[in-house]
């Protein structure tokens, strides 16, 4: 039956009917009919962010856990622009995200009022764009955008002028968008990979990404490794990887291209399952962009394809039976040891609660944690896929909204954390079970490393200042308190172990500033 | 003499030679040669921001005061995206800003590494774009970008792949870019405006923007008003307006279009000097976008033209002699009165230090302050021209870097202030003389007003939550402390008067949370 509803109500209805349950929002004047509709149409929960990059990063984190798109609600071009960095990360994570962006009333657009800008051009840099040109097409545009996001595993944007949101018209119940799905891998592709791995034997490499990093995918990969003796790698920055709980110990492909190339270039076959082709993160003089030797790359499954199923078939084809084990546990650090990347990684890995979700942003403690976490209890890791910093805290927030029954840990470097510290406020408001661990070295350490790589070991005064966060030192305990999150400081292994265990067992948001 | 220098050094040289003295920076790996060059080539001071929107907003504020472009240094597409909102505001302020954005090493671009994105498409939404395609063209591209910014009074962006920054080559000293200038207004245009104003008499309106809001421009406008009896308005959101110190009391054109149209539609001639055409900020059903009646709009000077000079000529043509005075001072509020938009505006206006620069963002205390400030000591007002919120604190920072000898006051609403609170850290680091006054009503009040205008007086639970910042309340004193800025709380007129006077007389950054 066709109901008489506003365009905004038609949009929320179509979204709810297509399975959208959450909308991470920072609306403005041109989205007020949508704000009103979120109350009039049941089914979509609104979560306010104090900055749009919190909203888009949370939508990314949410969808990494649920597999289905959340909405964002953003105000015109500037609102979308503010959220683009984390949409870039979502694009690189192959995460479905659907942005709803208001625009000026359609007849007002030619007047170049102050907030007018090219919204479609901004949106096109991260995904598909659907501009609503009349009240009648709102429901269908919304359904198509969600369909795009689920089908292409990416970002889509609906631009809705305010007048079309306001007008009432009869609306048929929309056909729901399709559920997310991954394209199957053809049998010949699997057979070819099997033949290449048989020939390569123990010199083969299997590089996992996408849904190959599910529990089932990794078990299948472990069976293959046990059978042929090949080396397993995870992509360097997985969108989502299951980890620990008896899974095989799989290293991430090293970040720096020389090191990564060194482990790949001896392999006669590098089979890629669900990951992008292994290329250098940045281009450095004298280091090739492509990390494999010509003729050795074998694409089993692209990031949007069903790599997990392909690995299961591959393991069966190779006659692989038992998976490799997780490898030995590490020696835990002593209670009085100072905090460093290594000791932080080990404490967090050893104290992790069962089924935790860990959002990792930043290298200082991120890399050591990944190494140590192979022998942890079972958990899920989310990382910064696109390199646009300010992703870790919003992603943790979104994951916590997606899985309120699971503890969430954000292992966060300080420089990147300062980009979107506003996420702490929404964690407090929604009382999400997130424990934020800030590795506070008061430096953009990665940039100091890069300056040295560029041959600038003797920093000038300006280079030193541009890579230092020490003057003044940000007080993370005060910052968290300002946003309503209880916070503590830890200066040694024993203090971190104690405060971290307390935080994850007491529920609700907490922050621990780790003095490195 | 041609020197052998890196591309990065050539860029900094060309910029310094064209008058750029400051670079608001948040660099990454692809900008490391530029960071090193900032130390090797003298003349450009680097100022670190913890988020790119701090850098771009500061560059806008800086150029509003100096009239010449500052540089920003931003990391790839995501870094530029993060700064786009305040570049949008700079575009609407007709401010010269030059962005330097690193890109991947040119031969690495085809590999779609994680941080690859369409930087040029993002940059084109706010201004002109210059992509460096080889080492040889770096100096010239930089000069042309600065020239663009000064000539068009707008934003320009130079995209520089990392390899071109690194390579050494002989470099001729670059020809400097032209200084900023405004196109002169033709004599016939001035004569036409004079004729229209003579006919309109006391029913005429003169709307000022751009450099018509200089001290000289306003004095000329005051002479015209005294002569013909017309009504003077400033544009609603001026980029920069001189104010107080005996200048005529000029109201801002009202924000809501019904009110603005009411004051314009009776005028037989609305002469616009340096402002955009008066159009509604947003389009509302039943309210025309154009606020003047057909045939009444007279364009004396466009925003990029020399409106000040045109007003001087116009005043002479009309035989105007003495300017109107500033009007009566207001009755100051009593010491025990609670803080409200009105009392805050009056206290700030009456305690303002001579020659202060006041960055105003947000309506709660912003509008009342403007009204009260007509009888203040002489000062300069900067407002949010483009409506992308998070502009006030970065703009105040940039103004303070531009004019270290002038006290700066940021009169800031809380919702918008939370977008770029990271600016506080740079204020502390650079020990800028900025006093931040936060009107803490813990609400997106403008959105509640807009919801009512859309006929939604009875907010649902989600609408109420999406417009409230009260749960939890942000503790601005703790937030400022976290970033190294001494902070206080004021709850009544006497406390505000006392803390504000202390802050502006003691130098360095301060923040006062005003409990509204």
Nearest CA in chain B to A49: B466
pLDDT number for residue A1:
55
C-alpha A448/C-alpha A467 separation (Å) is 7
Quick check: A75 pLDDT over 80?
yes
> Which positions in chain A touch B476 (Cβ < 8 Å)?
482
Domain with CATH 3.40.50.1220 in chain B: 187-317
Question: How many Å from the N-terminal Cα to the C-terminal Cα in chain A?
Answer: 63
Q: Using one digit for the tens of pLDDT, what is the confidence trace for B201-240?
A: 999 999 999 999 999 999 999 999 999 999 999 999 999 9
Q: Using one digit for the tens of pLDDT, what is the confidence trace for B431-485?
A: 999 999 999 999 999 899 888 887 777 789 999 999 999 999 999 999 999 999 9
Contact A420, A57 (CB under 8 A): yes
Q: Does B287 touch chain A (CB under 8 A)?
A: no
C-alpha A108/C-alpha B392 separation (Å) is 27
> Could you tell me which of A116, A158, A120 has the C-alpha nearest to residue A137?
A158
Quick check: B1 pLDDT over 60?
no
Nearest CA in chain A to B477: A482
Contact B98, B70 (CB under 8 A): yes
Q: Using one digit for the tens of pLDDT, what is the confidence trace for A113-141?
A: 999 999 999 999 999 999 999 999 999 99
Domain with CATH 3.40.50.970 in chain A: 3-171, 341-515
Candidates B125, B447, B474; nearest CB to A483: B474
Quick check: A457 pLDDT over 80?
no
User: Residue B167: which residues within 8 A CB-CB, separation 6 or more?
Assistant: B6, B7, B135
Q: Does A461 touch chain B (CB under 8 A)?
A: yes
C-alpha A416/C-alpha B416 separation (Å) is 21
Residues A82, B483: C-beta atoms closer than 8 Å = no
Q: Does A77 touch chain B (CB under 8 A)?
A: yes
Q: Which residues pair with A205 in a beta bridge?
A: A231, A270
Nearest CA in chain A to B48: A466
> Could you tell me which of A146, A379, A444, A95 has the C-alpha nearest to residue A241?
A379
pLDDT number for residue A178:
87
C-alpha A116/C-alpha A134 separation (Å) is 19
What is the 8-class DSSP label of residue A305? B
Residues A29, B447: C-beta atoms closer than 8 Å = yes
Residues A281, B114: C-beta atoms closer than 8 Å = yes
User: Is residue B424 reached through a cis peptide bond, with omega within 30 degrees of 0 on the bond before it?
Assistant: no
Q: Which residues pair with B127 in a beta bridge?
A: B155
Q: Does A289 touch chain B (CB under 8 A)?
A: yes
pLDDT number for residue B129:
98
C-alpha A427/C-alpha A417 separation (Å) is 14
Candidates B39, B121, B484; nearest CB to A463: B39
Residues B51, A104: C-beta atoms closer than 8 Å = no
Candidates A45, A282, A462; nearest CB to B39: A462
When pLDDT is cut at 50, 70 and 90, the band that residue A324 belongs to is low
Interface test with A, best of B35, B256, B261 (most A CBs within 10 A): B35
Q: Which CATH code is given to the segment(s) A187-317?
A: 3.40.50.1220
C-alpha B511/C-alpha B487 separation (Å) is 5
Question: How close, in Å, is residue B86 to chain A by CA atoms?
Answer: 8
Query: Which segments within A36-96 are labelled E, that is strand?
Result: 45-48, 70-75
C-alpha B430/C-alpha B46 separation (Å) is 11
Counting one residue from chain A and one from chain B, the pairs whose CB atoms sit within 8 A come to 302
Q: Does A111 touch chain B (CB under 8 A)?
A: yes
Question: Residues 197 to 236 of B: which have CB under 8 A from any A CB?
Answer: none
For range A256-278, the mean pLDDT: 96
Q: Which CATH number is B341-515's, of 3.40.50.1100, 3.30.930.10, 1.10.150.120, 3.40.50.970?
A: 3.40.50.970
- Mean pLDDT, chain A, rounded, equals 95
pLDDT number for residue A180:
87
Nearest CA in chain A to B85: A78
Residues B451, A32: C-beta atoms closer than 8 Å = yes
Question: How close, in Å, is residue A44 to chain B by CA atoms?
Answer: 10
Question: Which CATH architecture best describes the domain A3-171?
Answer: 3-Layer(aba) Sandwich (3.40)
Residue B354: how many other CB atoms lie within 10 Å:
12
Quick check: A152 pLDDT over 70?
yes
Q: Does B386 touch chain A (CB under 8 A)?
A: yes
């Amino acid at each position: 039956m066709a109901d008489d509803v506003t365009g905004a109500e038609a949009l929320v209805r179509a979204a709810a009917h297509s399975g959208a349950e959450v909308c991470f929002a920072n609306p403005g004047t041109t989205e007020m009919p949508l704000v009103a509709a979120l109350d009039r149409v049941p089914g979509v929960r609104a979560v306010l962010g104090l900055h749009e990059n919190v909203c888009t990063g949370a939508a990314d984190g949410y969808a990494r856990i649920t597999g289905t798109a959340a909405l964002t609600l953003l105000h015109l071009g500037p609102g979308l622009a503010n959220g683009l960095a984390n949409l870039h990360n979502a694009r690189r994570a192959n995460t479905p995200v659907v942005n709803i962006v208001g625009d000026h009333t359609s007849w007002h657009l030619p007047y170049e009022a102050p907030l007018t800008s090219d919204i479609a051009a901004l949106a096109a840099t991260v995904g598909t764009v659907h501009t609503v040109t009349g009240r009648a097409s709102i429901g269908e545009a919304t359904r198509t955008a969600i369909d795009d996001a689920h089908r292409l595993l990416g970002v889509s944007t609906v631009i809705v002028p305010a007048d079309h949101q306001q007008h009432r018209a009869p609306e048929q119940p929309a056909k729901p968008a399709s559920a997310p799905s991954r394209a199957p891998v053809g049998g010949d592709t699997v057979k070819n990979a099997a033949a290449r791995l048989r020939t390569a034997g123990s010199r083969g490499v299997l590089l996992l990404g996408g849904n190959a990093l599910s529990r089932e995918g990794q078990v299948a990969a472990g069976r293959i490794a046990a059978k042929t003796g090949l080396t397993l790698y995870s992509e360097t920055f997985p969108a989502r990887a299951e980890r620990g709980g008896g899974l095989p110990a799989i290293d991430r492909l090293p970040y720096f291209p020389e090191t990564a190339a060194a482990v790949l270039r001896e392999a006669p076959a590098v089979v890629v399952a669900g990951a992008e082709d292994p290329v250098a993160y940045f281009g450095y003089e004298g280091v090739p962009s492509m990390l494999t030797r010509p003729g050795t790359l074998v694409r089993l499954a692209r990031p949007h394809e069903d790599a997990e199923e392909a690995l299961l078939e591959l393991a069966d084809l190779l006659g692989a039976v038992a998976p490799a084990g997780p490898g030995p546990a590490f020696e835990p650090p002593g209670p009085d040891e100072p905090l460093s990347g290594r000791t932080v990684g080990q404490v967090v890995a050893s104290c992790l609660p069962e089924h935790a979700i860990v959002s990792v942003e930043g290298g200082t403690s991120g890399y050591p944690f990944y190494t140590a976490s192979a022998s942890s209890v079972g958990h899920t890791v989310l990382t910064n896929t696109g390199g646009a910093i300010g992703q870790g805290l919003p992603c943790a927030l979104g994951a916590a909204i997606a899985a309120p029954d699971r503890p969430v840990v954000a292992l966060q470097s300080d420089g990147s954390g300062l980009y979107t510290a506003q996420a702490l406020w929404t964690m407090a408001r929604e009382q999400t079970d997130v424990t934020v661990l800030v590795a506070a070295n008061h430096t953009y350490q990665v940039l100091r490393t890069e300056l040295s790589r560029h041959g600038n070991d003797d920093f000038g005064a300006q280079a030193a200042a541009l890579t230092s966060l020490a003057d003044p030192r940000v007080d993370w305990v005060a910052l968290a308190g300002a946003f309503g999150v209880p916070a503590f400081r830890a200066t040694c292994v024993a203090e971190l172990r104690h405060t971290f265990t307390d935080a994850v067992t007491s529920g609700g948001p907490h922050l621990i500033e780790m003095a490195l």
